[in-house]
Amino acid sequence: MRWDVVGLVLGWTIRLIALPLLVVFAYSASIESEGVEYAAKTYITPALLSLVLGQSLVSLARNSDASSRVRDREAFASVALGWIPVVAVGALPYWLGGMFNGPFEMFSGTASVWDGLSGLLYSWFESMSGFTTTGATVIDISTSPVCSAFTVVDDCIGSQSNSLILWRSITQWVGGMGVIMLGLLILSRVLGGGMSLARAELTGPSLSRLGPTLQWTASRLWLIYVVLTVLEFGMLHFLGGLGMFDAVNYSLTTLPSGGFGTSDEGIMGFESARVEVILIVFMLLTCINFSLLHLMLAGRGKEAWKDEELRTYLLILLVAWLAMSFNLYRFGTSEGGLAPMEALRHALFQSISISSTGYSSADFATWPVFSQFILLMLMVVGASAGSTGGGLKVMRIRIAFELAKREVVKIIQPRRVVAIRFNQQIIEERKIWIVLGMLSSWMVLATASILTISFLEPSLELTDVLSISVSLLGNTGPALGAFGPTATWAALSEPSMVIATLLMWLGRLELLTVLVLLHPRTWSGTD
C-alpha cells in the first residue's frame, strides 16, 4: 500500500468540503441574517478543520513520489476511507449549530455530557445519511433541542435554522455524484490512474469515458448534473409555485436521489400534483445512467434507447405502476379504495421515488401489503448502473438472470457454448463473476444486518427490520411500518444507529470497494 498516494487523494477530497461550508456560512451570515457569531461557530470551525487536515495530508504526500499512477488498491482504499473524514466534518455543523445537543449546550448546562455524546451520534447519522444520499433523518422532538424546548411542535425539521437545512441538502448534492468524482477534476492532473478512482466509486461493472480524457468525462458529467439541478429549480419555482428556499433545497436533493426535505411532511405538505409531476420527471432522470443522458443531450436518443438496462428498468417501472394502481384502486388504505386517477398518481410517484429520492406523495405505510411488497422489491432492484439511484442496480440483476438461464441451458445441452451478452456485447466471465460476487455479498450482508437489528431492536416487527435493512443498503431512506415516510429514525437505539451508518456507507460504496479493504494483500507492501 502506497500511503503517500492515499494521503494525497484524501487530502484533496477533505479540502474540497471547505468550499460548500464557506458558501453556507455566507448564506447564514448575510442572506438569512442568523448572525455572524452563529454562522462562524457552525461553519467556519469545520471549514478550517477540513482545510488544515486536508493540507497536512497533501503536504506530507508531496514529500514523496506520489505523482505516479494510482493502483487499484490505492484507489479503492482512498475512496472507502475518504468518506469517513468527509462525513465527520459534515456532521460538525449539526453538532455545533444546535440541531442536536452539542458542546455549547453542555457548557451552558442545558444538556448533560451523555446528551452531548448522543447529539454527536445523531449528527454523524444525519451527515452519513446526507452524503450517502440515503435520506433517513433523526431530526425529532426526542433528539433536537430546538423542538424539545416547546410543548407542541408541528414541524420539527422546519423549526431548524434555514442554513442547516441548506447544508443537509448540499451534502446530498455533493454526495450524489460522489466526493471523489468531484476531486477527479483536479486529481486526474495530479495523479495518474484516475480511472481507478472513478471505477472504485461509480456504479456498474465498467466505466467508459465519454470523451478523450477522464477529466473531460468528469467535467461533462458534472455539467449535466449542474444543468439539470438549475433546470429543476426553475421549474419548481416558476411552474410548481414553490418558494425560493423550497425550490433550491428540493432541486439539490432530487438530482442526487437524496430525499431530504424542508419540513416534516415533505412533498405531502405541498399537496400539489404539478410539483409531483415535475419531481417525477427529474427522479426518472436520476435513475438513468448518466452516460445515456449524455447521449440524449448530444442528439443520439435512438442510440440511448437501444440500451437494454434502460428498457428493462422502464418495463419494471411500468409493471410495478400498473400493479400498484390496480391494488390501490381495489383496496386503497384502511379507509377504502382510492379513485382511479389518485391511485395512478400515487402509484407512479412512489414506484419511481422508492429507487430514487424516497420522497412520498402519500403515506405508503398504510397501503395494502401487496403494494408495500412491490415497493420493497423496487428498493432491492434499485435503478440503473451509473445513475444516482440506489439498490442492487438493474444491470447486475439482469446479468445474474442471464447467468441462471445459461446454466439451465448447459444442464440440458452440456456441450453447448452460451455466451452472456448485454447490449449486443459479450460480457467477460471475470466481470460476470464479479457481479455474482457482489450480489452474493449483498445477500449475506442483508441477512447479517437483519439478524443484528432484530437482536438489538426486539420490539420491532418483521416488516420493520426487513425494510430497514433493505432501505439502508439501497440508500433509499424511508422504510415500511414504524419507519415509514411519516416517521423519523430517532426510535432506533444508539447501537442500531451505529450499525445503520455502517450499512449506509457499505450501500453507497457498493460493497466491493469496502470488501477490498478487508483483504490482507490490500495492506501489504507487495504488488
Would you state the pLDDT for residue 212? 52
Average pLDDT, the chain: 84
Q: What is the pLDDT of residues 288-303, one digit of tens each?
A: 888 888 888 777 878 8
Residue 434 neighbours by CB under 8 Å, 6+ apart? 205, 512
Query: For residue 392, is it within any domain?
Result: no
Would you state the pLDDT for residue 34? 84
Amino acid at 356: S
Query: For residue 130, is it within any domain?
Result: yes
If one counts every other C-beta atom within 10 angstroms of the C-beta of residue 275, the result is 21
Q: What is the pLDDT of residues 394-421, one digit of tens each?
A: 888 888 888 888 888 888 888 887 888 8
Q: What is the pLDDT of residues 230-261, one digit of tens each?
A: 999 999 999 999 999 999 999 999 999 988 99
Query: For residue 54, is it within any domain?
Result: yes
pTM for this prediction? 0.90
Query: For residue 494, is it within any domain?
Result: no
Q: How many domains does the chain have?
A: 1
pLDDT above 60 (res 185): no
108 close to 33: Cβ distance less than 8 angstroms: no
Q: What is the DSSP string of 93-128?
A: HHHHTTSS--HHHHHHTSS-HHHHHHHHHHHHHHHH
How far is Cα 373 from Cα 522, in angstroms, rounded to an integer?
40
Using a 10 angstrom Cβ sphere, with 0-12 exposed, 13-18 middle and 19 or more buried, the burial of residue 37 is exposed
Query: For residue 34, is it within any domain?
Result: yes
Per the structure, the complete domain to which residue 114 belongs is given by 3-210
* Location of C-alpha cell 428498468: 313
Query: For residue 48, is it within any domain?
Result: yes
Over range 39-45, report the average pLDDT.
94
Over range 451-466, report the average pLDDT.
93
How far is Cα 455 from Cα 113, in angstroms, rounded to an integer?
27
Which among 205-214, 256-265, 417-426 has the top mean pLDDT? 256-265
**Percent of residues, the chain, with pLDDT higher than 70:** 83
pLDDT above 50 (res 201): no
Query: For residue 188, is it within any domain?
Result: yes
Query: For residue 339, is it within any domain?
Result: no
| Residue of 49 and 180 predicted with greater confidence | 49
Over range 49-70, report the average pLDDT.
73
**Percent of residues, the chain, with pLDDT higher than 90:** 46
Q: What is the DSSP string of 261-283?
A: -SSSSGGGGT--HHHHHHHHHHH
Over range 174-203, report the average pLDDT.
54
Residue 266 neighbours by CB under 8 Å, 6+ apart? 359, 360, 485
